[in-house]
């Protein structure tokens, strides 16, 4: 604990240098003054709180909210000075809100603690004192030798020492880290690979030097120094030697490894990314409204204080005969009295700020997010995946999207690659029935027979079979010579690959006669037309996004040293010096125009002298501890030159289902779609046309292949001019990565102007960070549009995190995008329902919730302000303190919460089949200052009617009881409060379009509960209360017929004008949504009276009911008769959990 405190304060930094030295089995030097480095223990901590810091830390976080802090100040003021209301009126609601939030956050953190304890307490085996010792995961130290068995996960980051295989290799799946289900091969250095027993490992004397922990999963730089008798052997360590915590051992009986990074310093822990705090537009509006109401509160408090002293300027009101001042009051400072009075008025009016708004919004978001996961229309049966919500804070933002940025591969397409064509030595080939057929030859042509593979064709297919990272299912490797088809071609081998392209190419090669049959030690085995060949794998030059290629150096059976390279044509063709370069370039462009993904394949022969030079350079670069990546890049570039081009491949990635319809629906909804992809220009344009992103009638503008600022700027000016001249035509823009970099450097404004005038934009050859830059560019533009990014791969994570809303696709490129997203769906087509239905509903619900809260608090506190004019601003409260406390907590909270969970103002099917309705809620239309002003004025208007209506009916003649007894001030206040509770609840009922039994229960139940509570509260003398002001007040009020008349009259007067306004607006200025409601009522969905139902479906009040339905757009879900035809577009079989079960009228 003390060490942790010192580290937090900076007195004891955990790492003193850029590298760490690890003595295997913790055999430290016995001589000299060696001071061991301090490393973290192996405990994983994902929790936020501890038992000791939960209360202070949670309270600090909660009181950072303006509303909570404000009510804390009010509570403290009530404790310090004499105020008109009890401190309980502010303290109890504050305590309730703080407690509910703390319980929710505490429960979530308890679950994290529970998960941490399971992980930290897992049993592991460690080599100590010459034997295997069983211990807990949290007890592993850096330097310990750990044993891991098949199918177990690695408890720490380990450097592989040995496995049950002679060559020291093992297979690992990193699905839990990056989602890749393929098997990755890791290898130990030869000197430790032979130490396969605990006894031999216990004798190992070695030191590992490596970099300090960093988050990059694919980067590791280190070296191991092994002491053997009198010599020391130094070997390089790279990512291929590091086994990451969280990965799982596969197809290997057991391995031994030494712990290098433990606990929160493992790469998995360093990749725990706390979600960036994205704030929705609704939350920003809420804070703005809160400030406006604070200003109203201060104005009312200052005005009341000034009027009090203006009134007391007259002597008769300053000290009336019935209320004389004490000597202390007469002698006190006027300034202090003014401040005290101001604070007292502040306390009196403080309920205009809705304290329970935040907790209600949090509950609405948390509970409402379950509907996305429950929605059967967002469930993908083939993969058994349902929609996933990673953050519920942005639900309503789904209804505000203006720009969608989407990846192409795996998002718009299936990421299921199928080999289609290839170009070998300048000749195009297609695969026909397991044969490579040159273009122009028929299927049965003898030249198409695979037995006549030419030398170039065979070399090309061998290059495809040797240059890859494909693995074979271990259960089949022993049987590679097993079942073959009669012609000796096809193999039953099952391949695994991190890249779907590689898998498709290796499978295609096996179908046409050249089969990769697996690896054995450092050899790769290939069968060419049934004849086995063994190639020794000498070096692998790994793929990286900068080089955009990968290579292998192998020794052929004849002893030749060969380099095989494959990669993007932009990285292979410039490095090729021979072969059919021009013809291949033409073929690659043709493949791209068909929408195929292209790769070029080349090779190079090395002389013995060249190979010796390469080995020397590679060893120097790979053993370097500093700048290893840069040195390796230089060596790779030195090796991969003077290539001989063999050919190119074309692989098809099919479009996902309903992509075209979804993009068209997004366009109709007023959402602009940008496709950001790493693919080449021609491929991207072809896919954009096929998926409907670009229309055939669209004028496609290009900003590609620019090398200088001047040419880029000139092209941008020409495009802007052309758009202005052809403003009637729709334009599409194509930009590549290099041109985009130039455009963003100095011509950002001009580039944005061109983009905004285009209906669709396609950015190709994009690096991951460029994707994020484009999103940020739109996001921070003057219009501040709401952006959504959707992708499926690790290269989309930066874009997903940058956008206002990030959506991950559960595809084949791993789970990194899903883990870092706000929402995750299985297919791109689900985006339409997520936005048009869920987004629309969430926005409407929360917009009404926020404004209704402010409205009902204005209704609540304005009569209190008006009452001061009738009591000489003496700070007398109009309501009893219990009513003050329970108004927001009990009497009016549930109807709006249930509304915000279940409201459906339009049927989900209508919303999805009419995307144009999405435009009605865009640009925060329901939470702008105009609707906010309407709700605020409505609140003041209703409050005036509550107060003055009660005053006019009772003020002149207060003897309304049968026995001649007079009403008092508490009776008057209770009457105002009763009218208010009924009116604001009925107002919520007027706003509700979708009635469930829960709505009926909480709406009418809230009013009934208020009456029962008031009768109970006022019918008993409570011994713990200082005063019994409310004793029998409510009973007397209800015993007066005049009071009942006043209640009914005032409620009707308040709501009548609201109904008239709704009716007039619906008939004179209906929105698209209101028109859809009327269409829904008349032709698609018939709403029946919920009170009475006859066998023929007619009701006793049919004509009245029809008129009201037309006017109010009202619908009861239990009386719905749907008549959607199967030909209706977009999900005719609506299985949404949002749509409750229906009942036709005859079955009532």
Specify whether the CB–CB gap between 675 and 693 falls below 8 A.
Answer: yes
- Catalytic site includes residue 407: yes
CA distance 361 to 846: 7
* Burial (0-12, 13-18, 19+ Cβ within 10 Å), 364: buried
CB atoms within 10 A of CB 964: 7
Q: Which helix (H) or strand (E) holds 250?
A: strand 248-250
| C-alpha to C-alpha distances, 28 to 36, 223, 281, 796, nearest whole angstrom | 8, 18, 58, 45
* Burial (0-12, 13-18, 19+ Cβ within 10 Å), 175: middle
Per annotation, catalytic residue among 407, 736, 792, 1089: 407
Which parts of 2-130 are beta strand (E)? 19-23, 123-128
Specify whether the CB–CB gap between 838 and 398 falls below 8 A.
Answer: yes
| C-alpha to C-alpha distances, 246 to 125, 218, 773, nearest whole angstrom | 16, 14, 32
Q: Please, where are the H alpha helices in 1041-1097?
A: 1041-1068, 1072-1079
Q: Which residues are registered as beta bridge partners of 428?
A: 423
The per-residue b/e assignment along 214-246, b for 16 or more CB within 10 angstroms, e otherwise, is eeebeebbbbbebeeeeeeeebbbbebbbbbbb
CA distance 864 to 870: 10
Is the sign of the CA dihedral 655, 658, 662, 663 positive or negative?
A: positive
CA-only gyration radius of the chain, Å: 37
Report angle CA 694, 695, 698 to the nearest 5 degrees.
95
- Enumerate residues 6+ apart whose C-beta is below 8 A from 86: 78, 881
Q: Which residues are registered as beta bridge partners of 195?
A: none
Q: Please, where are the H alpha helices in 512-607?
A: 569-572, 581-593
Query: Which token pair is 286?
Result: 């809420």
- Enumerate residues 6+ apart whose C-beta is below 8 A from 353: 67, 70, 71, 290, 293, 294, 297, 857
Q: Please, where are the H alpha helices in 246-323?
A: 267-270, 281-311, 315-318
Is the sign of the CA dihedral 691, 696, 699, 702 positive or negative?
A: positive
* Residues found in the chain: 1148
- Enumerate residues 6+ apart whose C-beta is below 8 A from 438: 427, 428, 429, 447, 448
Query: Which token pair is 152?
Result: 């177990």
As annotated, the active-site residues are 407
């Amino acid at each position: 604990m003390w060490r942790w405190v010192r580290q937090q304060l900076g007195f004891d930094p955990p790492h003193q240098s850029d590298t760490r030295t690890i003595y295997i089995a913790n055999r430290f030097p016995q001589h000299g003054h060696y001071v061991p480095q301090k490393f973290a223990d192996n405990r994983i901590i994902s929790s936020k709180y501890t038992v000791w810091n939960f209360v202070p830390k949670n309270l600090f976080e909660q009181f950072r909210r303006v509303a909570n802090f404000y009510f804390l100040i009010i509570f403290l003021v009530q404790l310090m000075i004499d105020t008109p209301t009890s401190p309980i009126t502010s303290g109890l609601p504050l305590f309730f809100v703080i407690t509910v939030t703390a319980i929710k956050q505490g429960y979530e953190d308890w679950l994290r603690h529970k998960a941490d304890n399971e992980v930290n307490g897992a049993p592991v085996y460690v080599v100590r004192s010459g034997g295997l010792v069983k211990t807990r995961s949290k007890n592993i130290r850096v330097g310990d030798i750990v044993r891991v068995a098949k199918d177990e996960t690695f408890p720490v980051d380990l450097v592989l020492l040995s496995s049950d295989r002679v060559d020291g290799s093992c297979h690992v799946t990193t699905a839990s880290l990056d989602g890749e289900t393929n098997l990755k091969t890791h290898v130990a250095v030869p000197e430790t690979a032979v130490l396969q027993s605990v006894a031999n490992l216990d004798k190992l004397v070695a030191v590992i030097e490596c970099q300090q922990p960093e988050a990059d999963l694919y980067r590791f730089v280190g070296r191991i120094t092994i002491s053997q008798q009198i010599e020391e052997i130094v070997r390089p360590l790279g990512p291929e030697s590091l086994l990451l915590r969280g990965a799982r051992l596969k197809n290997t009986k057991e391995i031994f490894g030494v712990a290098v990074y433990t606990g929160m310093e493992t790469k998995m822990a360093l990749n725990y990314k706390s979600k960036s705090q994205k704030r929705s537009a609704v939350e920003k509006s809420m804070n703005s409204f809160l400030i406006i109401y604070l200003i109203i509160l201060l104005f009312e408090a200052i005005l009341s204080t000034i009027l009090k002293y203006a009134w007391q300027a007259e002597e008769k009101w300053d000290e009336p005969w019935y209320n004389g001042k004490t000597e202390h009051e007469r002698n006190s400072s006027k300034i202090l009295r003014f401040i005290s009075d101001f604070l007292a008025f502040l306390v009196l009016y403080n309920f205009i700020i809705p304290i329970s708004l935040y907790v209600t919004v949090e509950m609405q978001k948390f509970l409402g997010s379950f509907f996305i996961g429950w929605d059967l229309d967002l469930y993908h049966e083939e993969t058994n995946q349902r929609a996933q919500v990673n953050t519920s804070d942005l639900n309503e933002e789904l209804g505000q999207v203006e720009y969608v940025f989407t990846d192409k591969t795996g998002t718009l397409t299936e990421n299921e690659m199928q080999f289609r064509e290839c170009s070998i030595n300048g000749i195009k080939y297609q695969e026909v029935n397991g044969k490579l057929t040159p273009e122009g030859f028929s299927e049965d042509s003898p030249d198409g027979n695979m037995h006549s593979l030419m030398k170039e064709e065979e070399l090309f297919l061998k290059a495809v079979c040797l240059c890859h990272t494909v693995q074979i299912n271990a259960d089949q490797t022993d049987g590679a010579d097993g079942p073959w088809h009669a012609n000796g071609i096809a193999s039953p081998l099952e391949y695994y690959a991190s890249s779907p392209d590689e898998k498709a190419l290796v499978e295609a090669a096996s179908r046409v006669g050249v089969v990769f049959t697996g690896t054995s030690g450092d050899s790769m085995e290939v069968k060419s037309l049934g004849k086995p060949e063994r190639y020794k794998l000498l070096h692998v030059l790994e793929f990286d996004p900068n080089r955009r290629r990968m290579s292998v150096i192998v020794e052929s059976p004849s002893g030749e040293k060969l380099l095989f390279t494959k990669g993007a044509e932009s990285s292979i063709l410039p490095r090729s010096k021979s072969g059919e370069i021009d013809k291949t370039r033409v073929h690659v462009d043709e493949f791209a125009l068909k929408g195929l993904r292209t790769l070029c394949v080349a090779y190079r022969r090395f002389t013995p002298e060249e190979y010796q030079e390469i080995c020397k350079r590679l060893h120097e670069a790979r053993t370097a501890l500093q700048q290893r990546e840069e040195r390796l890049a230089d060596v790779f570039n030195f090796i991969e030159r003077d290539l001989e081009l063999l050919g190119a491949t074309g692989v098809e990635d099919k479009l996902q289902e309903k992509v075209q319809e979804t993009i068209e629906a997004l366009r109709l909804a007023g959402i602009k779609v940008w496709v950001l992809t790493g693919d080449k220009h021609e491929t991207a344009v072809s896919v954009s046309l096929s998926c409907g992103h670009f229309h055939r009638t669209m004028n496609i503008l290009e900003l590609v292949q620019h090398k200088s600022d001047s040419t880029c700027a000139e092209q941008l000016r020409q495009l802007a001019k052309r758009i202005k001249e052809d403003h009637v035509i729709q334009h599409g823009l194509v930009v590549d990565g290099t041109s985009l970099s130039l455009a963003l450097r100095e011509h950002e404004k001009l580039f944005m102007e061109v983009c905004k005038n285009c209906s669709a934009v396609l950015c190709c050859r994009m690096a991951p960070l460029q994707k994020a830059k484009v999103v940020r560019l739109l996001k921070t533009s003057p219009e501040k549009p709401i952006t959504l990014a959707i992708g499926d791969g690790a290269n989309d994570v930066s874009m997903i995190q940058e956008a206002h809303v990030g959506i991950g696709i559960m595809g084949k490129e791993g789970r990194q995008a899903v883990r870092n997203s706000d929402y995750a769906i299985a297919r791109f087509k689900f985006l339409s329902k997520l936005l048009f239905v869920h987004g629309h509903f969430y926005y409407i619900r929360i917009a009404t919730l926020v404004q209704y809260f402010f409205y009902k608090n204005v209704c609540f506190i304005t009569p209190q302000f008006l009452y001061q004019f009738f009591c000489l601003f003496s700070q007398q409260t109009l309501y009893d303190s219990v009513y003050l406390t329970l108004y927001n907590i009990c009497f009016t909270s549930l109807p709006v919460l249930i509304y915000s969970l279940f409201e459906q103002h339009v049927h989900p099917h209508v919303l999805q089949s009419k995307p144009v309705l999405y435009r009605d809620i865009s640009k925060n239309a329901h939470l702008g200052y105009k609707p906010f002003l309407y709700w605020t004025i409505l609140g003041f208007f209703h409050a005036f009617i509550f107060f003055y209506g009660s005053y006019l009916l009772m003020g002149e003649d207060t003897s309304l009881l049968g026995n001649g007894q007079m009403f008092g001030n508490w009776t008057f206040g209770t009457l105002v409060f009763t009218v208010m509770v009924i009116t604001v609840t009925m107002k919520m009922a007027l706003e509700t379009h979708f009635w469930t039994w829960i709505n009926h229960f909480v709406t009418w139940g809230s009013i009934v509960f208020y009456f029962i509570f008031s009768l109970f509260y006022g019918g008993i003398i409570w011994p713990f209360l200082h005063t019994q002001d409310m004793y029998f007040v409510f009973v007397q009020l209800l015993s007066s017929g005049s009071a009942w008349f006043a209640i009914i009259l005032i409620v009707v007067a308040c709501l009548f004008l609201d109904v008239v306004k709704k009716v007039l607006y619906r008939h004179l200025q209906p929105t698209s949504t209101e028109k859809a409601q009327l269409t829904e009522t008349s032709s698609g969905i018939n709403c029946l009276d919920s009170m009475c139902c006859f066998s023929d479906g007619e009701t006793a009040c049919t004509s009245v009911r029809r008129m009201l339905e037309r006017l109010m757009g009202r619908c009861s879900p239990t009386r719905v008769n749907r008549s959607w035809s199967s030909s209706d577009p977009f999900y005719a079989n609506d299985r949404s959990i949002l749509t409750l079960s229906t009942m036709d009228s005859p079955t009532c």
